Amino acid sequence: GEISNDPITFNTNLMGYPDRPGWLRYIQRTPYSDGVLYGSPTVENVGKPTIIEITAYNRRTFETARHNLIINIMTAEVDFPLPYQAEFFIRNMNVEEMLASEVLGDFLGAVKNVWQPERLNAINITSALDRGGRVPLPINDMKEGVYVMVGADVPFSSCLREVENPQNQLRCSQEMEPVITCDKKFRTQFHIDWCKISLVDNTKQVSTFQEVVRGEGILPDGGEYKPPSDTLKSRDYYSDFLITLAVPSAIALVLFLILAYIMCCRREGVEKRNMQTPDIQLVHHSAIQKSTKELRDMSKNREIAWPLSTLPVFHPVTGEIVPALHTDSYDNTSMPLMQTQQ
């Protein structure tokens, strides 16, 4: 009851559970702003008292307080159904701003002017973040947006039907603003995204429910079910053996014989090659071989100066003469120049 400017945060949960019911949402922007509970219960929640535990935490004095909020959900007025429902997306509003009674009243008044229904009620209010929207940038006047669904008892007006014409659908697909004649009645306070408006006519919806006709559990032919036998029949695997092993082996054997015949039985040999070679070509080949052999013999017998490492030297300690490592009878082409190379 004391008026203060302390930062206070609130936690809400269903009594006996760690979280709130699925239809109830809670939002609090900052510790200095109010917490808001909002949502639309379903038919399954009618007649069940919902007790919400609210825990307040003072972030300056560390005090806590708890309060229980009892929500009694009553049945809707079935005598006056609202089959025509339209959902608007308001870009310049947050959900807690739209939940204020005066703001919501102004919006319903603007919708009533363009729709002219006898009865008009707000059915559901949802934040754009709950529909997969992005958190807006931290810039002034940047709002996350809010979806507001309203229901009426008369068909949609011609102004609301303008969204469905092909020209506006094309402009929406090109991310352009559609041309709506009644937009000026909202523009002063509410910026409506007409490309995201949804019109639902429940009077034209066809029920997809199909009655299931259960039979008597008897087969159509009147016979009895015969399960397969427990004993397995013997199977002959001889044909499978022929297909998987014998046939590939026979093919491999034939290929092996053909390859052996080509490699071994069809060799020409040196004699057959010489018989098919002209005599003049054999003479030239023999002369080249003879000349090559003669050159190799001459290179072995040529006299060259021995390297210094092959001459007699004096032993540095004893003073005696050490004979040469190589003699004239050695083939210089096969002896190393240095002793360490042996």
pLDDT per position as a tens digit, 282-299: 788 888 888 888 888 888
Q: Is residue 214 predicted with pLDDT exceeding 80?
A: no
The number of beta carbons lying within 10 Å of the beta carbon of residue 20 is 17
The number of beta carbons lying within 10 Å of the beta carbon of residue 302 is 8
pLDDT digits (tens, 9 = 90+) for 140-152: 778 888 999 999 9
Q: What does the pLDDT read at residue 117?
A: 87
> DSSP letters along 238-281, please?
HHHHIIIIIHHHHHHHHHHHHHHIIIIIT--HHHHHHHHS-HHH
* Mean of pLDDT values over 98-127: 88
CA distance 129 to 95: 10
CA distances from 265 to 109, 258, 275, 276 (A): 108, 10, 19, 19
Residue 172 and residue 197 in contact, taking contact as beta carbons nearer than 8 Å: no
- Specify the residue for token string 């053909």: 258
Residue 25 and residue 37 in contact, taking contact as beta carbons nearer than 8 Å: yes
Q: What does the pLDDT read at residue 330?
A: 45
Residue scoring higher pLDDT (151 or 277): 151
Q: Is residue 246 predicted with pLDDT exceeding 80?
A: yes
pLDDT digits (tens, 9 = 90+) for 114-144: 888 888 888 889 888 888 888 887 777 788 8
Q: What does the pLDDT read at residue 45?
A: 84
Q: E-strand spans in the chain?
A: 8-14, 24-27, 36-39, 50-58, 64-71, 84-90, 120-127, 146-152, 198-201, 313-314, 321-322
Q: What does the pLDDT read at residue 257?
A: 93
Q: Report the SS3 class of residue 291.
A: helix
- pLDDT band of residue 209 (cuts 50, 70, 90) is low
Where is average pLDDT lowest: 35-39, 163-167, 329-333? 329-333
Going 296 to 301 to 307 to 313, the CA torsion angle's sign is positive
Backbone angles phi, psi at 16, to 5 degrees: 90, 0
Residue 24 and residue 39 in contact, taking contact as beta carbons nearer than 8 Å: yes
pLDDT digits (tens, 9 = 90+) for 158-203: 888 888 889 989 998 888 888 888 888 888 888 999 998 988 888 8
CA distance 264 to 26: 93
Count Cβ atoms within 10 A of the Cβ of residue 84 and give its class: 0-12 exposed, 13-18 middle, 19 or more buried: buried
pLDDT digits (tens, 9 = 90+) for 56-68: 999 999 999 999 9
Residue 145 and residue 130 in contact, taking contact as beta carbons nearer than 8 Å: no
Measured between its terminal Cα atoms, the distance across the chain in Å is: 112
Q: What does the pLDDT read at residue 14?
A: 92
CA distance 155 to 117: 8
Residues pairing with 114 in the sheet: none
pLDDT digits (tens, 9 = 90+) for 78-92: 556 788 899 999 988
Backbone angles phi, psi at 256, to 5 degrees: -65, -40
Where is average pLDDT lowest: 67-76, 108-117, 203-212, 245-254? 203-212
Q: What does the pLDDT read at residue 68?
A: 94
Where is average pLDDT lowest: 9-23, 70-84, 146-160? 70-84
Share of the chain above pLDDT 70, in %: 79
> DSSP letters along 59-85, please?
TTT--EEEEEEEE------TTS---EE
- pLDDT band of residue 305 (cuts 50, 70, 90) is low
Q: What does the pLDDT read at residue 242?
A: 82
Domains with residue ranges and CATH for the chain: 1-75 (2.60.40), 76-206 (3.30.70)
Mean pLDDT score of the chain: 81
Share of the chain above pLDDT 90, in %: 16
